[in-house]
């Protein structure tokens, strides 16, 4: 088996919120620490460091995962999305972030980055969840402040808003297709 010196450094390159980034780290460095200390992306928080609290959740190739349970070297060449990527630094909040603000779905905010990254992934996969399903998804996160109910309200509101917008788009497309039907010409040959 190949032996790796305890303190040997490895250069890890990845796409962080769509931007190519890289830094050197030890083989045992956690992705959570690499993001915060190696790349300066401190939006990702670290709580329990053993996969329980969910504070460190990021998206790896679009899937919400614990960055404290992932080695930085495992993220080589992957797409990592963190809370910093949910909206532009000087732009408006994403619809999900704005809903959290409206519903007071955060207080101290320590859990919030991880919860947002899970919810963002979840709503892509499950655009029309029930309250029970949202609560089950949130069971992977610990929040000591909110009691979870405002978070559930925010997620359900965004699911409903996105669903309504999608239905309105579909109706508008159907109406414009009906207004300009595709003409079918038959060819008799020559
Ligand atoms: S810090 Fe990763 S799950 Fe708690
Ligand atoms: S807002 Fe404080 S832990 Fe969730």
Q: For 47-60, what is each residue's pLDDT tens digit?
A: 999 999 999 999 99
What is the per-residue pLDDT for 187? 47
Ligand nearest to the CA of 33: 1
Q: What domain range includes position 150?
A: 95-165
- CA geometry: angle 14, 19, 24, nearest 5 deg: 40
Q: Which atom of ligand 1 is nearest to the CA of 68?
A: 2
Q: Which atom of ligand 1 is nearest to the CA of 66?
A: 2
Tell me, yes or no, whether 105 lies in a domain: yes
Residue 22's CATH number: 3.10.20.30
| Mean pLDDT in residue range 80-86 | 98
> Residue 63, exposed/middle/buried by CB under 10 A (0-12, 13-18, 19+)?
exposed
Q: Of all protein residues, whose CA lies closest to atom 4 belonging to ligand 2?
A: 143
How far is the C-alpha of 73 from the C-alpha of 52, rounded, in Å? 22
Residue with more model confidence, 188 or 51: 51
Q: How many domains does the chain have?
A: 2
Question: Does residue 104 have its Cβ closer than 6 Å to ligand 2?
Answer: no
pLDDT interval class at 11 (50, 70, 90): very high
Last residue of a domain, one of 63, 83, 103: 83
Strands (E), the chain: 9-16, 19-26, 57-60, 63-66, 79-81
Ligand nearest to the CA of 69: 1
Q: Are strands 79-81 and 9-16 parallel, antiparallel or unpaired?
A: parallel
Q: Of all protein residues, whose CA lies closest to atom 3 belonging to ligand 2?
A: 143
Residue 140's CATH number: 1.10.150.120
Mutating to test ligand 2, I would choose from 108, 118, 119, 148 the residue with most ligand atoms within 8 A of its C-beta, which is 108
Token pair in block for residue 184? 């079918």
pLDDT of 20 above 90: yes
Q: Say how many residues make up the chain.
A: 190
Predicted TM-score (pTM) of the model is: 0.90
CB-facing half-sphere around the CA of 5: CA atoms within 13 A: 5
Contact 155, 129 (CB under 8 A): yes
Question: Does residue 111 have its Cβ closer than 6 Å to ligand 1?
Answer: no
Tell me, yes or no, whether 161 lies in a domain: yes
- Looking at the DSSP assignment, which residues form a beta bridge with residue 30? 71
pLDDT interval class at 184 (50, 70, 90): low
pLDDT interval class at 185 (50, 70, 90): low
**For the chain, what is the mean pLDDT?**
93
Are 21 and 74 within one domain? Answer: yes
How far is the C-alpha of 113 from the C-alpha of 162, rounded, in Å? 21
């Amino acid at each position: 088996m190949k032996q790796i010196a305890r303190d040997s450094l490895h250069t890890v390159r990845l796409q962080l919120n769509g931007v190519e980034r890289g830094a050197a780290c030890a083989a045992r460095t956690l992705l959570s620490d690499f993001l915060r200390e190696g790349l300066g992306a401190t939006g990702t928080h670290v709580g329990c460091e053993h996969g329980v609290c969910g504070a460190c959740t990021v998206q790896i190739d679009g899937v919400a995962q614990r960055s404290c349970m992932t080695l930085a070297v495992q993220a080589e060449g992957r797409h990592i999305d963190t809370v910093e990527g949910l909206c532009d630094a000087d732009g408006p909040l994403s619809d999900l972030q704005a809903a959290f603000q409206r519903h007071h779905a955060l207080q101290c905010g320590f859990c919030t980055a991880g919860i947002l990254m899970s919810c963002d992934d979840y709503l892509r996969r499950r655009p029309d969840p029930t309250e029970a399903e949202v609560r089950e998804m949130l069971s992977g996160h610990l929040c000591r402040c909110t009691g979870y109910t405002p978070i559930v309200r925010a997620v359900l509101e965004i699911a409903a808003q996105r669903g309504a917008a999608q239905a309105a788009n579909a109706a508008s497309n159907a109406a414009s297709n009906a207004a300009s039907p595709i003409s079918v010409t038959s060819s008799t040959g020559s």
